[in-house]
Structure 1
Amino acid sequence: MTFEGFPDEGLVFYEGLEADNSKTYWTRHRAVYEACVRAPMQALVDELESEFGTAKLFRPYRDVRFSNDKTPYKTHQGAVVNPEGRGAGAWYVQVSAEGLRVGGGAWRLETDQVDRYRRAVADDVQGPRLRAEVDRLAGGNWEIDGDRLTRVPKGYDVDDGRADLLRHRSLHAGRLFPFADWLHRQEALDHVRTAWRDVSALNAWLADNVGATTKENRRH
């Protein structure tokens, strides 16, 4: 399937889901979701695969086990590319009634990855590289976010110009493209490709300096 844009019916579907997040609504409109949301998203990431890697589309169902919000369905469709063997640094895209959101970076780091991240931030070579890249993205309408401490962790210089980066326990950049007519056309593919290229340097820094976790997965 060639990506031709996200049909308007898919965005209208999400507007309705926001108003009526119920199994009844979902069942009645599931065919619209499959044809006008999930299929175009799959086509989009398929066209990007040769440059960025294979994407995973997220399930439309929310995990409500530990949430006070028990609404069963997500009001967006997301997809992520985690390059094999790189560990940290991923590309993200989602579509919803508000438009198209793109992102890159690390949304979650294990404790060993956080340790390596902090050492790299404090390094006199790698730290300035990240500082420059984060500043460049922030100046280009990217939102810099991530889980962070309220204070700089012990053992690091609080006067350092990278103190804000040391507080991070995860680090990612995101950008929202509000709804526009181009979302219904192939032009949406160009927006995602350009945005993912723009955040690739951040992903490369994370892959080179943080990498994959060495913690073993324990089965209970």
Structure 2
Amino acid sequence: MDNTKTYWEAHRQTYDTAVAAPMKALVASLADEFGDAKIFRPYRDVRFAKDKTPYKTHQGAFVPRGPATGYYVQVGAPGVRVGVGFYEASSPRLASIRDAIVDTRRGGELEEILATMQASGWELGGDRLKTAPRGFDVDHPRIELLRHKSMTLGKSYGFEPFIHTPELLEHVRTDWREATPFVEWVLRYAKA
């Protein structure tokens, strides 16, 4: 609630021990299987933002598996959240992904992956166009997927009792394993 430099400096030790250290330990425990994570800084880039509050209200970490593609975990006021996907795609990379979505076999494979994940509680997200992308028929059976400029899947744990225990590690590991087919699909077909 107090997002000022004065408050931050007075409570920096709490951030270091109660937020940063547990996040570092969590992603270090996952590194052998998923790779090294980038833990995001707590400082916001306020140069062009209307909101000039200097500090983030969440702590996130990202494990890159390809260009702008990988695994994510975050802790914040709403609790703990995990995610996977690609958060940005160059024009050639996005064209490659859309070509795969249009293809009957590859697009069907993506639909199956997404249906399985959504059935187990994952939410599909990402930046989307409001209309069909140029060159694609608005009546295409996978038009909703073709509208994506980025594509993510996320799952929230909220404040389940396990998030304050070592059991959180196994939940994140299990969910990232479950999401690996989606990450692999993106990496297989997103050519730049």
Q: How is 1:163-178 mapped onto 2 (pairs within 5 angstroms)?
A: 163-178=143-158
Are 2:129 and 1:149 aligned? yes
Q: How is 1:114-125 mapped onto 2 (pairs within 5 angstroms)?
A: 114-125=94-105
SS state at 1:74 partner? coil
Q: In 2, Cα distance between the equivalents of 1:29 and 1:181? A: 25
Deviation digits for residues 136-192 of structure 1 (CA, Å, limit 9, x no counterpart):
222221110111111111322322221100001110101111112211110010111
Determine the structure 1 residue equivalent to 2:18: 36
Are 2:79 and 1:71 aligned? no
Determine the structure 1 residue equivalent to 2:28: 46
Determine the structure 1 residue equivalent to 2:92: 112
Consecutive unaligned residues of structure 2, counting only runs of 5 or more, are none
Shift of 1:88: 5.2
TM-score normalized by the length of structure 1? 0.84
Give the letter aligned to residue 167 of structure 1: R
SS state at 2:11 partner? helix
Deviation digits for residues 5-26 of structure 1 (CA, Å, limit 9, x no counterpart):
xxxxxxxxxxxxxx11111110
Which piece of structure 1 moves more, 152-161 or 120-129?
152-161
Of the candidates 164, 170, 184, which is equivalent to residue 184 of structure 1? 164
Moved over 3 A (4+): none
Consecutive unaligned residues of structure 1, counting only runs of 5 or more, are 1-18, 214-220
Are 2:8 and 1:26 aligned? yes
Deviation digits for residues 100-153 of structure 1 (CA, Å, limit 9, x no counterpart):
010000011111111111111111211111111112222221110111111111
Q: What percent identity do the matched residue pairs reach?
A: 46
Equivalent residues, number: 192
Determine the structure 2 residue equivalent to 1:82: 64
Q: In 2, Cα distance between the equivalents of 1:89 and 1:56? A: 13
102 and 29 in structure 1: CA distance in 2 versus 1, 3 angstrom threshold? same
Deviation digits for residues 78-109 of structure 1 (CA, Å, limit 9, x no counterpart):
000002xx335300001112210100000111
TM-score normalized by the length of structure 2? 0.96
Q: In 2, Cα distance between the equivalents of 1:203 and 1:180? A: 26
Contact 1:89 1:204 in 2 (8 A): no
Q: In 2, Cα distance between the equivalents of 1:124 and 1:25? A: 55
Give the letter aligned to residue 59 of structure 1: R
Of the candidates 144, 160, 163, which is equivalent to residue 140 of structure 2? 160
Determine the structure 2 residue equivalent to 1:194: 174
Q: In 2, Cα distance between the equivalents of 1:108 and 1:154? A: 18
Determine the structure 2 residue equivalent to 1:5: none
